[in-house]
Amino acid sequence: MSTWTPSSYIIVNLARQIRPEEIAFSGVNSTLPMLACLLAKRAYDFHYTYINVAGGVEPQPTKIPLSSSDPAIVAGSPAIFANQDFYDLCARGGLDLVYLGCAQIDAEGRTNVSVIGSWENPRVRLPGGGGAAVMLPTAKRVVTWRTEHSSRVLVDKLDFVTAAGNMATLVTPLGVFQRDTRPGARFRLESWNPDFDVAHIARQTGFAFDAAAARPTEPMSVREREALAQLDPEGRLSGG
């Protein structure tokens, strides 16, 4: 058995998507990506710029923000930007990596944050497109995550297509999926949590995927483990 928890697996593997010199952005109610971005600052020997939906640029919070409305998310920021500035920056090709959540996602990286059920008579009315509709088509790469890995979340057909575009990575507690951003390209399994196996992941996934080149996910490095412990010493967010 590995030492991953479901949340620590997501946080660390979200952090591993960041590349040197990129500008990375985390969206609304994105606590796990926030932790991932802060972890990357501590664990990796390269520079990148972190901005968030609250307007913070390179924040240095003294406590872990519990939501995108928590004032801690902008602590220490040398500048604050409005939302329209982030949308404009993204539309001009200035955001390299954007973390955006979703309710459903399909094999081609299209997302639904609009309705569950039919549009005319939905079982659940969701918040709607917001940043996804603007940023998924215009960011250079988009990464999403789901704390639930099931066939009702990773679906063969979306109940509604809210947004499509440059979705590159999906991280769940079971594995990491990658796709190139060409239209029609499908997710492939890049690596899996060694607490599970590929057959189990396939049973839990609503779409077919290629796992031929997949491998067990690399364990946390010493620096990743130390950074996570510093950021979340009581394990409130990463321990479950």
The structure tokens listed for 176 are 């990491």
Q: Model's pTM, two decimal places?
A: 0.93
Give domain status of residue 93, yes or no: yes
Give domain status of residue 1, yes or no: no
Q: How confident is the model at residue 185 (pLDDT cuts 50, 70, 90)?
A: very high
Does the pLDDT value for residue 91 go beyond 60? yes
Give domain status of residue 238, yes or no: no
What's the whole-number average pLDDT of the chain?
91
Q: What is the mean pLDDT of residues 204-223?
A: 97
Give domain status of residue 171, yes or no: yes
**What is the domain range of residue 158?**
6-231
On the CB side of 51, how many CA atoms lie within 13 Å of its CA? 22
Distances (CA, A) of 125 to 4, 105, 121, 130, 164: 34, 16, 9, 14, 19
Contact 193, 173 (CB under 8 A): yes
Pick the more confident residue, 28 or 170: 170
* Strand partners for 26: 52, 99
φ, ψ (nearest 5 deg) of residue 76: 80, 5
Report the CATH number that the domain containing residue 47 is assigned in CATH. Answer: 3.40.1080.10
Give domain status of residue 236, yes or no: no
pLDDT-above-70 percentage for the chain: 97
- Classify 215 as helix, strand or coil: strand
Q: How confident is the model at residue 1 (pLDDT cuts 50, 70, 90)?
A: very low
The structure tokens listed for 30 are 């994105």
pLDDT tens figures, 170-181: 999 999 999 998
- As for how many domains the chain has, the answer is 1
Give domain status of residue 237, yes or no: no
Q: Which residues contact 123 (CB under 8 A, 6 or more apart)?
A: 116, 117
Does the pLDDT value for residue 240 go beyond 70? no
Give domain status of residue 147, yes or no: yes
